[in-house]
Structure 1
Amino acid sequence: MLGEYRIQGRRAADISASVERAVGSGELAPGQLLPPMRELATELGVNPNTVAAAYRTLRERGVIETAGRRGSRVRSRPASTARGSIWVQAPPGVRDVSAGNPDPALLPPLHDALAAAARHNAERPGMYGQAAVDAEFARLARAGLDADGVPDGPVAVTSGSLDAIERVLAAHLRPGDAVAVEDPGWGSLLDLVPALGLRPVPVGVDDEGPLPGDLERALRDGVRAVVV
């Protein structure tokens, strides 16, 4: 069933980690059927409830899916899938936007700003206990958000958009909640959603953004968040 790979562990956390490592390394492929819980419990010499807890953790982390009597399988696109196993070479003449990187020619010059930030940090290093966001930066950011019609609220600084999305989803949703995502969409986001134990719901897009009919259907079906 598992080929040469043997799931290991005596605790639920160890068993789930063993499976997730194998999925990440490619030793367990997408669609791979896992042993029934009682069978694996007997093999490992543990209580079946321990294996059940491990499988539950793997489901919440988006690594496996369970289909009743048909058993548990590695998801077709698990959150911990090795990148090399799902990467597709873009054909000639097609621009690969899967990484989400902007055109470098469109980026503003940052040399002077980064140099000024380095000098400021050398003079007044940032320390624990200080304000998390520079007051002037927060004022400028708030002005820009107000101009875009974003409701008033605190300003947070994150390490990029994916970090921001992860923080919002983790703070407001629970494992099993549905999240509407663009289809086709950003690969890193499609990895993040199941990794948080959330269920992605595809919403078609065109040049103007999400298709209204698809989005309305997703909202009617109970999605708890929409990422565009």
Structure 2
Amino acid sequence: MKTVLCYGDSLTWGYIPDGSGRHALKDRWPQVLQAELGTHVHVIADGLNGRTTAYDDHLSGFERNAAKTLTTALGTHFPLDLVIIMLGTNDMKHVLCGNALGAKRGMQRLIEIVRTAPYQFEIAPPAVLIMSPPPLGESGGEEFRLIFEEGIGQSRLLAGFYRDAALQSDCAFFDAGSVAATSSVDGVHLDAENTRAIGKAIAPIVRDILEL
């Protein structure tokens, strides 16, 4: 059986845009991917609200810096055939990073971590698929607007920067913004239809990577 780790933030966790809770399992993109791939693949979802590529958030009680936590996830779930990383939205917060180039560099660090982690039993590193999240939109909520408004334009550059990072690192890339858009409710998160769309869209890419 092939094993895939989906590593991300609230878009992977399944945050409902109006703040009312979490999407049902069937609507979260990792579980949609699981349904598309069938029983020959085990898809693991690891999403944390507020997670960044490589930037510290001292306002949280959780460790949100993926550069500090990814090795733990890799060690917990190995052997892995594929790691899918969709991060960068929270890097757009002006108090943390605020620009797409910084997010690209953070993503490059995560690719490096996947490929150099101390795997046991002489297991080869997994393949990597990086995804740029859908660009931020104008927020209807005051809190998200103040946190993210300076990053809206920068978020539109993520796909191009991540595509370059993928080419430079010889890993796969997908622009989630090509099939999904953030909700107008908060301009950050995805409604059920859009998060499902991501899971369906990447299924053929994952099949190809895993040679299914």
TM-score range, shorter chain: under 0.3
Query: What TM-score do the two structures reach when normalised by structure 1?
Result: 0.23
Query: What TM-score do the two structures reach when normalised by structure 2?
Result: 0.24
Q: Which has the higher contact order (CA 8 A, sep 6+)?
A: 2
Say which one has the larger Rg: 1
